[in-house]
């Protein structure tokens, strides 16, 4: 069993740069701050608890990278407004990343923005967060466009960057071809895709490699739960449970939880990989941040890596 300090620190896994912004590789995803359903259904979160999680993450554990979106809201809670209430005025080193293209009306119904509507989505994020501009904005590609062009939408974001509303750009739920298309329009500092132990295929790993060679951050979401929707810290296993025993064995060897092992595996995929696990639970927050100091051996990593899924 390895020793880890009683107070975890987000800098234990090292740092990476998003353009000219340096962040700790262990960050925080804001989606689950809004409640059990996260997207309008389910039980709204306790406001004071959500605020406490954010403050503890930033002020106690040194988290300086938070991932959010204006469409992260439940019936009574908005992730952006919780962040604003908890952390404004913001620390100088805090980087807030958000995403656009999807939107939700007040009833929770989804809609997808046209290129000319992206400015309104950017401005809504700025208003909710109480900022003058956004640090990083990811263009979140809809499932129906995974094999299509994103040039028109990304070009609209590039113009907002030139206008000073956005500092840096990224893409999300994208392919290697879309990354190349976006980079021909404007610099890309990050790619945010679903990626996790037991949920990576050949295309995922190729995109991970391309990002590393290009100095672009690769930011997996749903890293704890694999192909299932992320259940927050403490979740373990994959959709079919085939890796569970290997994960549990490594967890026992380190005196860690399965969720921590999955996060450690994620961070081991490369120095350019950032983690943004989401939770609304203060204890799970501490467990997630502590995973940044968990070091897997080559043998353990080989045992955990499943066969690569072929297309």
- Residues acting as catalytic residues: 72
CB burial of residue 234 (10 Å; 0-12, 13-18, 19+):
middle
Q: CA distances (Å), 303 to each of 243, 250, 259, in order?
A: 9, 9, 16
Q: Which residue has the tokens 């373990």?
A: 236
Q: What b/e readout covers 95-128, taking b as 16+ CB neighbours within 10 angstroms?
A: bbbbbbbbbbeeeeeeeebeeebbbebbebbbeb
DSSP code of 106? T
Quote the DSSP letter at residue 221. Answer: B
Integer CA distances (angstroms), 152 to 115, 116, 157, in order: 7, 10, 9
Could you report how far apart the first and last alpha carbons of the chain are, in Å?
Answer: 39
Q: CA dihedral defined by 171, 279, 275, 237, rounded to 10 degrees?
A: -100
Rg (CA), the chain: 18
92 CA to centre of own chain: 20
Peptide bond into 184 cis (omega under 30): no
Instruction: Give CA separation, 297 vs 61, 247, 264, 289, 305, in Å.
Output: 25, 13, 11, 19, 12
CA angle, residues 241, 265, 24, in degrees to nearest 5: 135
**The pair of three-digit structure tokens given for residue 299, joined into one six-digit string:** 């043998």
């Amino acid at each position: 069993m390895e020793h880890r300090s009683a107070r975890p620190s987000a800098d234990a896994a090292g740092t990476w740069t998003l353009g000219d912004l340096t962040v700790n590789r262990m960050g925080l995803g804001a989606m689950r701050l809004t409640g059990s359903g996260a997207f309008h259904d389910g039980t709204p979160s306790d406001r004071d608890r959500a605020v406490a999680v954010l403050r503890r993450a930033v002020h106690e554990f040194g988290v300086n990278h938070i991932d959010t979106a204006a469409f992260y809201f439940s019936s009574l809670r908005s992730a952006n407004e919780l962040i604003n209430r908890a952390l404004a005025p913001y620390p100088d080193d805090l980087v807030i990343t958000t995403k656009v293209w999807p939107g939700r009306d007040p009833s929770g119904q989804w809609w997808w923005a046209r290129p000319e509507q992206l400015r309104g989505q950017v401005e809504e994020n700025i208003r909710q967060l109480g900022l003058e501009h956004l640090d990083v904005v990811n263009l979140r590609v809809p499932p129906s466009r995974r094999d299509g062009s994103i040039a028109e939408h990304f070009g609209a974001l590039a113009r907002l960057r030139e206008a000073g509303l956005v500092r840096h750009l990224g893409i999300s739920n994208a392919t290697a071809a879309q990354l190349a298309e976006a980079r021909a329009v404007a610099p890309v500092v990050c790619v945010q895709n679903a990626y996790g132990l037991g949920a990576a295929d050949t295309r995922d790993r190729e995109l991970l490699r391309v990002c590393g060679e290009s100095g672009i951050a690769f930011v997996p979401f749903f890293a704890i739960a694999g192909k299932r929707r992320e259940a927050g810290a403490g979740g373990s296993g994959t959709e079919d449970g085939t890796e569970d025993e290997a994960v549990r064995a490594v967890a026992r060897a380190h005196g860690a939880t399965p969720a921590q092992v999955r996060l450690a595996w994620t961070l081991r995929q490369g120095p350019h990989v950032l983690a943004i696990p989401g939770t609304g639970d203060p204890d799970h927050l501490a467990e997630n941040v502590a995973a940044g100091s968990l070091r897997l051996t080559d043998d353990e990593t080989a045992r955990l890596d499943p066969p690569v899924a072929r297309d």
